[in-house]
Chains A and B, each alone.
Chain A
Amino acid sequence: MWQEYAIILVRGIGLGSVYALMAMSFNIVKVSSGILNFAQGNMLVLGGMIAYAATAYFGALSPVIWFLVMIASALIIGVVVTIQGYLTLLPLSHSEDQQSWLITTMAVSIIIGAVLLLAQGPNALMVRSIFPNIPLFGMRVPAPFLLAIGLAIFWYFALQLFMSKTLVGLAISALWQDPVAARAAGLKVRRLQLLAFGISGLVVGSTGFVAAPIITLASDSAVAYVLNGFVAVVIGGVASNTGALIAGPLVGVVAMLATFKIGGEFQGLFSMLMLVAILLIRPQGIFGDTAARRV
């Protein structure tokens, strides 16, 4: 019996790690510019499609090639998201209070979805993992679940180090605290914001590539990842990567446990109940900070 719970835990954490990575990529953009980039779901799918294209082009990838293509995927999506960030930030030049990013990020998401539909049709692309399944607790776990967990931990520490130990990271953190003061202090705000967009692209690009065999790669599948990533952001606390690292797997495990014990029809319901509960009890999220604001 305990093996069943152990397997649910491992797979729930694995799937939840994808949500956690989505949440982290949301956070860095949110911290720098206050924007929630709704196009990141499709960027994740694009990362997965690079994995599909690589397999189609090279055949079965060796681990070394796989690793190199993963880095290439992260860089490609990083550049794409930076360009998207530039376009999103362009109309915000004169006022930080404009909400046009809502439209532009959604528009980019819709455009990418439409292009994917035209390019590949309605069928989902399916990618086989190059790594063998791992025997665990008397069953087998596909390697991408474990790789997603590893990637979430890697990006968590990388982002924590970057944000707290480098001048550029500290400057991005400063934007979250007070963008006007940061600008007055001479920080190159736009450049930092674009960098943050690029880093979020690196995160989702690598995630899409690594998790390609366990996520749905279709023109209409991005919404689910945006939604689950958003739930992880809210539950963990906006701008908190520690919160994202905890909340993503929590969402994944709770959904699977609800399915196992109660039924598959309650899978989505429990995630939403968690969201509502957090908003009622601790609106700033588990690891979120409250901030005083002059009104």
Chain B
Amino acid sequence: MGLKNKSVVKAGHVKLMSAVALSAVMAAAPSMAQTKEPIKLGLLIALTGGDAINGLNGGAGVRLAVDEINKAGGVLGRQIVIVSADDQSDPTAAVNEARRLATQEKVDFIFGPQASQRTLAVLPVLTAAKIPQISTSGSLDINPKIGPYNFSTQSNAADQGYHMAHYLTDVMKAKKVSILTDNGAQALSAVPYIKKELEKGGATVTATQEFPFRSEDKTAQLLSLKAGNPDAMILWTNTPEDLGVVLNNMADMGWDGLPISGPNATVMQAAGAAKIADKALFTKVAGVAYRGWTYCPGEDVANSPYVKFKERLKAANPDKYKDLLPTISSYAYDGIMIMKAAIEATGGTDPEKLKTWIEGNADKVATVSGPMKASAESHFLAGRDVMTPILDPLMTNEQGLFKRADCK
């Protein structure tokens, strides 16, 4: 073989190597591009309709979480982009928007909806599409069988009901209790569990009544309950107007001394209710709060995760912070942070891997509302231990934390 032939062979070798290298680069290019594609988060909340107050606050928490994640470099180097959807506080609209997010927008995961009726409506769509979902719904009809990829950062109705009932029986020593709820799915699903827990605590239920959301007057319901002569009341409201109207109606009837035990929403909505109801009417009102929002005298809470979260939320929303309920924003924020941790740990957005990881590892994620945990049997991340009763939801310390009812 002559020199010329050698160089021909060498040139051919170089060409071959170049082609291989080029092919390798070409082959790698799409996958590299793919891994840098943003993660699409479908924000399926109520921007309009009766539940838009939840959407406003939940959306603020989600946006803060996404902003912090993206500023810190994203998840696995990928930025999160929000695809917004308005469920209009309506289950039918929620289904349409869920379908759009799943099939047209092809989102990687979804935050929302924020009410049980709507979450129950969208579950078939999102389960069929295998889209991981963080909702804030507490109905007991929501479970891993019908929603394997749905997790909720809202405490479920039974766990809230447990605290509501046992506050009255164990702390207030009530023997006869009446129940008044709105007609939402969460409240109605809680009633049987509350009755069971009241009976376990040695109390009897004198009567049960319900009212439509934002109805102008609850006097008829209250008069009917008063006839049973209860010594305490379970009151499940989800809007500040309803809470304020019930307290005013009770005061008009001269029934304002009755101890009341409410759910998580009572804690969140009390400040709004105080716009129409006198503050004195709240002194006998208890609610159920996430432990992260609470304090006992003597505890150093100035740097608690929730207090720091509120500061960041305020900095991110300087103009509208006064209209926000940081409590609602906080567990929305926690939901996104749990999903972020799951994506990082599993290396992607595979729904099966995310589901398994969250079921086993949610408690390892630092959250601001309180320690969250899930299992294969329950996807309610805020379990019974995360919640605690508080008394007088208007009485907060300088950091805006609620005083626990079990403080010594």
Contacts and interface: CB of A to CB of B under 8 A. Distances in A.
Nearest to A263: B209
A220 B49 contact: yes
Interface string B261-280: 00000000000100110000
Contact of B211 (A126, A214, A218, A264): A264
Interface residues of A, number: 38
Interface in B88-128: 89
A259 B49 CA distance: 26
A21 interface: no
B236 to A, nearest CB: 12
Contacts of A257: 220
B329 to A, nearest CB: 14
Given A11-B217, A220-B48, A264-B211, A139 B224 contact: no
B319 interface: no
A123 interface: yes
Contacts of B241: 124, 126, 216
Contact of A264 (B52, B221, B254): B221
A260 interface: yes
Contacts of A289: none
Interface in B221-270: 221, 223-224, 227, 239-241, 244, 248, 251-254
B401 to A, nearest CB: 23
A126 B254 CA distance: 22
B214 A8 contact: no
B48 A117 contact: yes
Interface string A267-278: 110000000000
B52 A139 contact: no
A276 B212 CA distance: 21
Contacts of A124: 214, 239-241
The size class of the interface chain B forms with chain A is 35 or more
Given A263-B209, A264-B209, A122 B216 contact: no
A140 B49 contact: no
A122 B48 contact: yes
B253 A121 contact: no
B53 to A, nearest CB: 5
B50 interface: yes
B109 to A, nearest CB: 25
Contact of B183 (A126, A133, A256, A264): A264
Contact of A265 (B53, B210, B254): B210
Nearest to A136: B252
B383 interface: no
Contact of B214 (A213, A218, A263, A264): A218
Contacts of B216: 15, 214-216
B11 to A, nearest CB: 70
Interface string A198-222: 0000000000000001111011110
A219 B253 CA distance: 30
A122 B212 contact: no
B255 to A, nearest CB: 9
Contacts of B272: 123, 126
A128 B220 CA distance: 21
Nearest to B214: A216
Interface string A252-295: 00001101110111011000000000000000000000000000
Given A7-B223, A122-B52, A257-B220, 9 more contacts: A4-B223, A15-B216, A123-B53, A126-B272, A140-B252, A220-B89, A256-B220, A260-B221, A265-B183
Interface of A: 4, 7-8, 11, 15, 114, 117, 121-124, 126-128, 133, 138-142, 213-216, 218-221, 256-257, 259-261, 263-265, 267-268
26 contacts: A8-B220, A11-B217, A11-B219, A122-B46, A122-B48, A122-B49, A122-B53, A123-B53, A124-B240, A126-B272, A126-B275, A126-B276, A140-B254, A142-B248, A214-B217, A218-B214, A256-B219, A256-B220, A259-B211, A259-B224, A260-B220, A260-B221, A260-B223, A264-B210, A264-B212, A267-B215
Interface of B: 46, 48-53, 55-56, 89, 183, 209-212, 214-217, 219-221, 223-224, 227, 239-241, 244, 248, 251-254, 272, 275-276, 323
- Closest A-B pairs by Cβ, 9 of them: A122-B52, A259-B220, A260-B220, A256-B220, A126-B276, A140-B252, A264-B210, A126-B275, A122-B53
